[in-house]
């Protein structure tokens, strides 16, 4: 066969191989999470800037417990006077332990304040691991109650895993609360302000990302699918951006996405978004979403 003809033949064969390979890959590719996990806004409530501006949690035990909120106005004086002047997005275990994350302006530790179902409070302090960021924006308790996730501010490719203080029998207020493993993310996340489990291996997270370069949108609602339930061994996490969170206000400026809660009883997802400028006082919102 003449050289030009051989070259044309090879080109055609290469094109067919490329098309066949693409077809196989397309068939093997999983359906994007966003296609099967759409969250539609269903309403909103005003978020008080002093007591509802950082986070929220639905509490299942005891029955008919009200939703819990955190803000600068919910920090007890005895806690803030010891330097724990920032509270983040809380969570509650299935058996009614309620946990708030705290941080200081400096130092080498962060604190988790735990209220038992009977009402008593206790504090669990974690000494930072090498390279761990100081901030303590949120906590999320696994459905089995034994493990608690937390995250760090900035652009990160991991989440931290701890034994759940007050619930896991290995924890004590008199001992350092250790980080036991990590969730290794397959895609970087930025400025995550809260996460909550929707099932044993799925997290829904609110990101305050102001740049939009990671997912093509600012302020995304994220879904993280874990390779296994968290525990003492590292697991991987597949990150998907599901939608942009609402930013509506009478004022223009910079919004701040805050905590998130998935209520397992009702299936309602709630996310706090703080309005800019003077409107922080008037039209900050807790938005509600339903899976559709």
pLDDT value, residue 21: 37
CATH number of 34-291: 2.120.10
Peptide bond into 62 cis (omega under 30): yes
pLDDT value, residue 17: 34
pLDDT value, residue 36: 56
Q: Could you tell me the sign of the dihedral formed by the alpha carbons of 118, 123, 128, 129, in that order?
A: negative
pLDDT tens for residues 162-171?
999 999 999 9
pLDDT tens for residues 80-116?
999 999 999 999 999 999 999 999 999 999 999 999 9
Nearest to 120 by CA among 73, 182, 173: 173
Q: Are 68 and 31 in contact (CB under 8 A)?
A: no
φ, ψ for residue 232, nearest 5 deg: -80, -10
Cα–Cα distance, 67 to 59 (Å, whole number)? 6
Taking the whole predicted model, whether its pTM rises above 0.85 is answered as yes
Question: Using alpha carbons only, what angle is made at residue 161 by residues 70 and 216, rounded to the nearest 5 degrees?
Answer: 70
Query: How many other β-carbons are positioned within 10 Å of the β-carbon of residue 150?
Result: 26
Cα–Cα distance, 150 to 240 (Å, whole number)? 18
Interacting residues of 287 by C-beta distance below 8 A, sequence separation 6+: 41, 43, 44, 245, 246, 270, 271, 272, 273
Element (H, E) at 14: helix 3-28
Cα–Cα distance, 96 to 117 (Å, whole number)? 5
Give the pair of three-digit tokens for residue 114.
């735990």
Low-confidence ranges of the chain (pLDDT < 50): 1-35
Nearest to 141 by CA among 132, 152, 150, 129: 150
DSSP 43-65: EEEE--TTTSSSEEE---SSTTP
Tell me, letter by letter, the H, E, C secondary structure of 220-281: EEEEEEECCCCCCCCEEEEEEEEEECCCCCCCCCCCEEEEEEEECCCCEEEEEEECCHHHHC
All structural domains of the chain with their residue ranges: 34-291
pLDDT value, residue 20: 37
- Rounded to a whole number, what is the distance in angstroms from the first to the last CA of the chain? 60
CA torsion 205-150-57-270 (nearest 10°) is -10
Cα–Cα distance, 261 to 198 (Å, whole number)? 9
φ, ψ for residue 150, nearest 5 deg: -150, 165
Nearest to 262 by CA among 208, 178, 200, 181: 200
Interacting residues of 253 by C-beta distance below 8 A, sequence separation 6+: 276, 277
Cα–Cα distance, 86 to 246 (Å, whole number)? 25
């Amino acid at each position: 066969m003449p050289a030009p003809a051989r070259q044309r033949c090879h080109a055609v064969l290469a094109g067919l191989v490329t098309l066949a390979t693409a077809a196989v890959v397309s068939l093997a590719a999983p359906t994007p999470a966003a296609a099967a996990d759409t969250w539609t806004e269903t309403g909103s409530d005003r978020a008080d800037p002093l007591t509802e501006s950082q986070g929220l949690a639905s509490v299942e035990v005891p029955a008919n417990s009200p939703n819990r909120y955190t803000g600068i106005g919910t920090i007890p004086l005895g806690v803030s006077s010891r330097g724990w002047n920032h509270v983040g997005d809380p969570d509650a275990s299935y058996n009614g332990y309620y946990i708030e994350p705290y941080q200081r302006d400096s130092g080498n530790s962060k604190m988790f304040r735990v209220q038992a179902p009977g009402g008593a409070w206790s504090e669990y302090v974690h000494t930072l691991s090498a390279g761990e960021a100081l901030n303590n924006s949120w906590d999320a308790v696994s459905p089995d109650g034994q493990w608690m996730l937390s995250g760090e501010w900035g652009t990160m490719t991991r989440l931290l895993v701890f034994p759940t203080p007050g619930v896991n029998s290995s924890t004590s207020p008199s001992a350092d609360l250790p980080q036991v493993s990590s969730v290794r993310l397959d895609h970087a996340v930025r400025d995550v302000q809260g996460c909550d489990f929707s099932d044993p291996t799925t997290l829904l997270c609110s990101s305050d990302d102001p740049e939009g370069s990671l997912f093509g949108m600012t302020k995304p609602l994220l879904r993280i699918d874990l390779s296994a339930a968290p525990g003492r061994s590292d697991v991987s996490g597949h990150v998907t951006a599901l939608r942009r969170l609402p930013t509506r206000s009478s004022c223009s400026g910079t919004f701040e996405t805050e905590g998130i809660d998935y209520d397992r009883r009702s299936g309602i997802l709630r996310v706090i978004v703080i309005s800019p400028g003077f409107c922080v006082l008037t039209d900050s919102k807790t938005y509600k979403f339903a899976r559709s």
